[in-house]
């Protein structure tokens, strides 16, 4: 009888220990998730999803960012890469975030940002999103994964979150480019200029390029150009562009 009682006591202790251990593990995971971008648990819309039968949450706690910096207005996620960052736009200096993080702290890796020539709703025919290619492999460094044909073929979509929306883009080309400032170099309101630039993205004049067949653009297309340096910590004038066209605007709850 004493032996039986002792065995029961041991089992109770082990059970309590197991419960406490699980509780600590879950608490640690929740704490980690609270400090992350909170997009990993989101079921993102695919190119072929029927949005009329499914509700999506954007999975981004914008208040977490805007409470620190009200110039955070969007968030980008590129599957297959480590690119999951807030997007900022300065209301004073277009180059402010070249050497500042999204919290406005000085940082050599800078932020993912757009300039004031682009609307924050991503409704322009051409929106350029900038980010450094760093020696640390963060920010837009992993855009260069699209240099690999297999990666390009398998990773067709990227997502930009704005409050109330998930904007779904299909990557249609990725290629090297010169150091022209795209938004300052082209007047997309002038006749023929937009169409000519669109064709240069659909069929890049570059030695290094990947292109997705069957994509067409027109005057209503909304294209996002992701731009970084072709080499980390380099003074080279070569840029690397990953270009996507909006294929779906998903309302979120």
- For 36-74, the three-class secondary structure string (H helix, E strand, C coil) is CCCCCCCCCCCCCCCHHHCCECCCCCHHHHHCCCCCEEE
The whole-model pTM stands at: 0.81
More confident residue, 20 or 85: 85
Residue 12 φ/ψ, nearest 5 degrees: -65, -45
Partners of 126 in the β-ladder? 223
Closest CA to 249 of 157, 169, 129: 169
The fold of the 51-251 domain, in CATH, is: Sortase; Chain: A; (2.40.260)
With beta carbons less than 8 A apart as the criterion, state whether 187 and 124 touch. Answer: no
**197-211 exposure pattern, b = at least 16 Cβ within 10 A, e = fewer:** bbebbbebebeebbb
**Structure tokens that stand for 101 in this block:** 């993080």
Q: At 20, is the pLDDT very low, low, confident or very high (cuts 50, 70, 90)?
A: very low
Domain boundaries, the chain: 1-35, 51-251
Query: Residue 38 above 50 pLDDT?
Result: no
Partners of 246 in the β-ladder? 169
Residues 169-223 have pLDDT tens digits of: 999 999 999 989 999 999 999 999 999 999 999 999 998 999 999 999 999 999 9
More confident residue, 95 or 42: 95
Q: What is the C-alpha separation between 194 and 110, in angstroms, rounded?
A: 30
Q: What is the C-alpha separation between 236 and 238, in angstroms, rounded?
A: 5
Q: What is the C-alpha separation between 216 and 48, in angstroms, rounded?
A: 17
């Amino acid at each position: 009888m004493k032996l039986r009682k002792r065995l029961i006591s041991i089992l109770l202790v082990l059970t309590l220990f197991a419960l406490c251990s699980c509780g600590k593990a879950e608490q640690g995971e929740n704490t980690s998730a609270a400090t992350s971008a909170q997009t990993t648990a989101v079921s993102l819309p695919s190119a072929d999803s029927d949005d009329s039968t499914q509700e999506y949450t954007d999975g981004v706690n914008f208040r977490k960012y805007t409470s620190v910096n009200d110039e955070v207005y969007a968030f980008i996620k590129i599957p297959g890469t480590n690119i999951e960052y807030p997007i900022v736009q300065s209301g004073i200096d277009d180059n402010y975030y070249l050497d500042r993080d999204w919290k406005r702290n000085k940082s050599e890796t800078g932020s993912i940002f757009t300039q004031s020539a682009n609307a924050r709703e991503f409704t322009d025919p051409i929106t350029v999103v900038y980010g450094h290619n760093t020696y640390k492999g963060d920010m837009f460094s992993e855009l260069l994964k699209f240099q690999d044909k297999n990666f390009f073929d398998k990773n067709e979509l990227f997502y930009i979150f704005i409050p109330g929306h998930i904007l779904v883009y299909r990557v249609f080309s990725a290629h090297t480019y010169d150091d022209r400032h795209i938004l300052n170099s082209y007047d997309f309101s002038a006749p023929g200029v937009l169409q000519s630039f669109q064709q240069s993205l659909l069929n890049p004049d570059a030695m290094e390029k990947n292109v997705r067949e069957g994509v067409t653009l027109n005057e209503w297309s909304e294209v996002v150009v992701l731009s970084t340096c072709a080499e980390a910590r380099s003074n080279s004038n070569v840029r690397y562009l990953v270009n996507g066209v909006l294929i779906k605007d998903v309302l979120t709850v």
